[in-house]
Structure formats: C-alpha cells, structure tokens
Chain A
Amino acid sequence: DSGVTQTPKHLITATGQRVTLRCSPRSGDLSVYWYQQSLDQGLQFLIQYYNGEERAKGNILERFSAQQFPDLHSELNLSSLELGDSALYFCASSVVEDTQYFGPGTRLTVL
C-alpha cells in the first residue's frame, strides 16, 4: 500500500459523458501527478499540481482538466468521453519532486 488512494476503482460510462476521478495523496505530499496508461500509448504523464497550483502539463487533452484542493486531494475531470479514453488512470504523489508513489488506479471503460 503506497498511501495514495484513488476512487472509484472502476468506472463504466458512455461516450459523450463526463466523469470525475479522485485522488488523495500520501500524508505530507504536496505534489500530485496524473498519468494515463493505455495499451497503445503506454504510460503517459498528464498533469502535475503542487500545493494547489498547476506545475507541469503533459499530453493532456483539452477535454480533460484537473485541480488540487486546499486539503491537497486532486480531481481529474474527463468530459465528452470517447472510446479511446478507455484506460487506467493513475495518480501519484511526492514530497516536492522526489520519488513518486502511485495509487491503485481507476479503470475507465467508455462504451
């Protein structure tokens, strides 16, 4: 158990819908990262937040957005979902930019 929690574990939804994935970082970690893992793209960095502020952006689609709240938990919002958005979404956290510890992931299936 890494100490990073993610909810829900599984999510099944339809194309065009919007979902929210939630992540709680390890106690004391200020940085939260979101990654997408898919069969064709592998593990891709989406976005990083540090203490509530966006720190770095990767291959994140405009339909996706994220935020980090004052209690340091983070949410990843995915909208206008397409079949190709089906993937495992991982959250990771770290103290500043040290070693990242990963959560169990949310498996999103878009039908």
Chain B
Amino acid sequence: AQSVSQHNHHVILSEAASLELGCNYSYGGTVNLFWYVQYPGQHLQLLLKYFSGDPLVKGIKGFEAEFIKSKFSFNLRKPSVQWSDTAEYFCAVRGSSNTGKLIFGQGTTLQVKP
C-alpha cells in the first residue's frame, strides 16, 4: 500500500535558520508529489509540486524541494525561514493508478522563533 512518511513531527528554528523537512514515500510506479502548508486556523495551500522534468522544483515563498527517485524522497527546503513560516507542512503523494487520491504524511509542525 502507498504510504508517506515525514520524519520530523515538530521542528523549532530561529529566524534566518535553514530548513529541511524530510519526506519519503512508498509506491512502485510513477508518482506526483506535493507539499502543502497549513497556517494556523487556515486551509491547506499548495507550496509546490512535482509531476515530471527537473527534479528540483521551486515553489512559493522561497520554498523548494528535490525529488530523488532512487531514495523515494521529496524533501522540502528553505534557506532562511521567517516567523511567518510557522505552520504545519504536509507532504503528499498521488500514484498514477490512484486517480486523484492524495496520500498525506503525518505532517510536520514548524515553529519559527523571532
């Protein structure tokens, strides 16, 4: 069965620190990969996505992610976080045979201290 694992459940950083959130998935076929962010009290917003092509994808608000097929990973990065990045981050996978269904990781709560 498909699954997504996010290694860090809770991350605390100071402003200007660099961020890397891990995401690994298990699926044997072609996948589409997503990172969503959920700010406190708000709905999920798309940060970035990977369908094909360049494995390094850039998203909104300075975020980027790298798809490493051999490692089944899609880690999220940001060189310098801001207090406003405090939120919950979800990695999600959609397998090509799964219609539109998204499988989400457990989420990582990021707290950025000013």
Contact = CB atoms under 8 A, between A and B. Distances in A.
Interface residues of A, number: 24
Contacts, number: 52
A56 B101 contact: yes
Interface string A16-60: 000000000000000101010000001111001010000110100
Contact of A56 (B46, B98, B106): B98
A43 B90 contact: yes
B100 A43 contact: no
A90 B98 CA distance: 19
Given A56-B98, A99-B34, A99-B49, A45 B43 contact: no
B46 A45 contact: no
Nearest to B92: A43
B103 interface: yes
Given A90-B43, A102-B44, A105-B43, A45 B99 contact: no
Contacts of A103: 43
Interface in B14-47: 34, 36, 42-46
A56 B100 contact: yes
Count chain A CB atoms within 10 A of each CB in B34, B36, B44, B106 and give the residue with the most: B44
Contacts of B102: 33, 35, 45, 100
B67 interface: no
Contacts of A33: 100-102
A1 to B, nearest CB: 9
Nearest to B106: A42
15 contacts: A2-B45, A35-B102, A35-B104, A42-B104, A42-B105, A45-B102, A56-B100, A56-B101, A58-B101, A90-B44, A99-B34, A99-B46, A100-B102, A101-B46, A103-B43
